[in-house]
Amino acid sequence: MTVAKETAELLAKLGVDKAVLSGGDLQVRSPVTGEVIASLKQMSAAEAGKAVDAAHEAFKAWRLVPGPKRGELVRLLGEELRAHKTELGRLVSIEVGKIPSEGLGEVQEMIDICDFAVGLSRQLYGLTIATERPGHRMMETWHPLGVIGVISAFNFPVAVWSWNSALALVCGDSVVWKPSEKTPLTALACEAIFARAVKRFGADAPNDLLKVLIGDRAVGEVLVDHPKVPLVSATGSTRMGREVGPRLAKRFARAVLELGGNNAGIVTPTADLDMALRAIAFGAMGTAGQRCTTLRRLIVHESVYDQLVPRLKKAYESVSVGNPLEGKALVGPLIDKAAFDGMQKALKEAEAHGGKVTGGARVENGHPDAYYVHPALVEMPSQVSPVTEETFAPILYVMKYKDFDEALDLHNAVGAGLSSSIFTRDIMESERFLSAEGSDCGIANVNIGTSGAEIGGAFGGEKETGGGRESGSDAWKAYMRRATNTVNYSTALPLAQGVSFDI
Ligand code: NAD
């Protein structure tokens, strides 16, 4: 069966109307074979604006439904995702090129955040605060915020939507989602799955709680500029964030920016090298290097360099690259030709700066429009461009260090600040890495790689990664507005700070 045929069958099983999959000018390709698997109609700016207006009407009704009841809708969404995990996971593999366990893992992440949000729906609480005035009570209340705009990247085509939407929905918000133009089919599948949850929930769920906007960045810009969207959660490149951030600031809208990473790991003299090797291999080569948390820089102490790096090179040479749908390869394709060209350009530049490259060549598989590549390991004499920038492909730059301060300096000397890790059995080193003078990233791990975060923690990074936090911990607060309430239950009117104003 062709990939296009399998895609059509999966979409039908997931409940997507066949009519929307053809006749448009947005060609969707599977990176697995490079073939066109659908041609969707893109939305006009006017249609996108209308979708936001409709979602705003939905918000006005949804905000009045009690939080725990809103949680019930997300519980049903989690049930629907459990029931359709196999099909949706497979579709992720087809549309992004992820190996089966990673496609399924992405759907599991959606289920996990639904479970988290259901519990959260009974815990949207504020503080009661001591007041200086007698006969008064001061407290804070959290209210729904409005329409939440979600702009997502190709590499986590559905999980990012669920991180934002599960929280937004229990917080009493509606959602308008602009998925990547490279991965709109999984978005249509989520829309259909969500529609089933809404149907089971019944009449208390208004229409238009979720709207999906199909199109490229021009459609995303409608969300960014729309006055009825008080928060846009935008995931993608730092370039995209530089455009979206100032536009949101201009109209005083909130931004949750989840941008590029240039994540590093430090391997110290006391590291368990067997464990480090496995973590590095998954972090650097997994998802074909196309995770925002992919390990891109490895900073290795000179005393263990010659033990670790030859073993790593062997792992690079032996890793299986190939068709992810056949279930044997560990590394699938790059998303497209531009990603392949970007990788080759970075490798050439690295060589020009003295880098020694292992791997990096294209793997032919009989599909001229599919871009499979051997992951590349590059030994670099120093941390210069292209090491300092994110290239969204499987390239791991390896550098040596002598003392721990030098390793920390190298670690923090790049623009991005998403994820980081250290491999050590020395408690002083690990604690320093996690301390105020250590890693400057939003995620800092010990004896674990940089990728594969759980949903329970807040996810996001600093500096050019944008500063946003989504998913677990108290990330929900971004999706609500806080009101401080002071109630006077006395017969006097004492003013704060002892001010008197007697008339
Ligand atoms: P991209 O920036 O090309 O596109 C991301 C999304 O933004 C797409 O939906 C696109 O249409 C939209 N977009 C682009 N410019 C826009 C604009 N001016 N206004 C409104 N919308 C706009 O990114 P990509 O290639 O899809 O994804 C890869 C990048 O995403 C990498 O840099 C990766 O590190 C990053 N990423 C970050 C995280 C995170 O949580 N920090 C997660 C996944 C991916």
SS3 267: strand
Measured CA to CA, the distance from residue 109 to residue 33 in angstroms comes to: 26
Per-residue pLDDT at 327 exceeds 90: no
Which atom, in ligand 1's list, is nearest to the CA of 261?
34
Measured CA to CA, the distance from residue 201 to residue 297 in angstroms comes to: 47
Q: How far is CA 263 from the centre of its chain?
A: 15
Q: What letters, b where the CB count within 10 A reaches 16 and e where it falls short, cover 474-493? A: ebbebbbeeeeeeeeeeeee
* CA of 22 relative to ligand 1 center, distance in Å: 25
Q: For Cα atoms 336, 341, 343, give the angle at the middle one, nearest 5 degrees.
A: 100
Closest by CA position to 355, among listed 380, 383, 390: 380
Q: For Cα atoms 278, 282, 285, give the angle at the middle one, nearest 5 degrees.
A: 125
Q: Which listed residue (181, 191, 258, 470) is catalytic?
A: 258
Give the model's pLDDT for residue 1. Answer: 83
Give the model's pLDDT for residue 365. Answer: 87
Per-residue pLDDT at 230 exceeds 90: yes
Q: How far is CA 279 from CA 65, 83, 173, 457, in A?
A: 45, 31, 38, 20
Cβ(210)–Cβ(59) below 8 Å:
no
Kindly tell me the sign of the dihedral angle through the C-alpha atoms of 460, 288, 238, 160: negative
Q: Quick: pLDDT tens for 299-320.
A: 999 999 999 999 999 999 999 9
Quote the tokens at residue 382.
Answer: 């120093």
Give the model's pLDDT for residue 104. Answer: 98
Ligand 1 pocket member 217 (CB < 6 A): yes
Measured CA to CA, the distance from residue 347 to residue 351 in angstroms comes to: 6
Q: Quick: pLDDT tens for 139-175.
A: 999 999 999 999 999 999 999 999 999 999 999 999 9
Residue whose CA is at the smallest distance from ligand 1 atom 19: 221
Quote the tokens at residue 157.
Answer: 């085509």
Ligand 1 pocket member 124 (CB < 6 A): no
Crossing angle of helices 238-250/217-225, nearest 10°? 30
Per-residue pLDDT at 448 exceeds 90: yes
Ligand 1 pocket member 216 (CB < 6 A): yes
Q: Taking residues 368-377, what's their average pLDDT?
A: 98
Report the residue among 235, 247, 257, 334 best suited for mutation to probe ligand 1: largest number of ligand atoms under 8 A from its CB: 235
Give the model's pLDDT for residue 293. Answer: 98
Mean pLDDT for the chain?
Answer: 97
Strand partners, 257: 234
Closest by CA position to 292, among listed 174, 130, 430, 468: 468
Residue whose CA is at the smallest distance from ligand 1 atom 11: 217
Q: For Cα atoms 451, 454, 458, give the angle at the middle one, nearest 5 degrees.
A: 95
Report the residue among 95, 154, 225, 240 best suited for mutation to probe ligand 1: largest number of ligand atoms under 8 A from its CB: 240
Give the model's pLDDT for residue 94. Answer: 98
Per-residue pLDDT at 31 exceeds 90: yes
Q: Is the ipTM of this complex over 0.85?
A: yes
Measured CA to CA, the distance from residue 321 to residue 282 in angstroms comes to: 13
Q: How far is CA 227 from CA 3, 29, 195, 471, in A?
A: 41, 34, 26, 25
Ligand 1 pocket member 292 (CB < 6 A): yes
Cβ(231)–Cβ(253) below 8 Å:
yes
Query: Active site includes 258?
Result: yes
Q: How far is CA 461 from CA 141, 295, 478, in A?
A: 28, 14, 15
* CA of 184 relative to ligand 1 center, distance in Å: 14
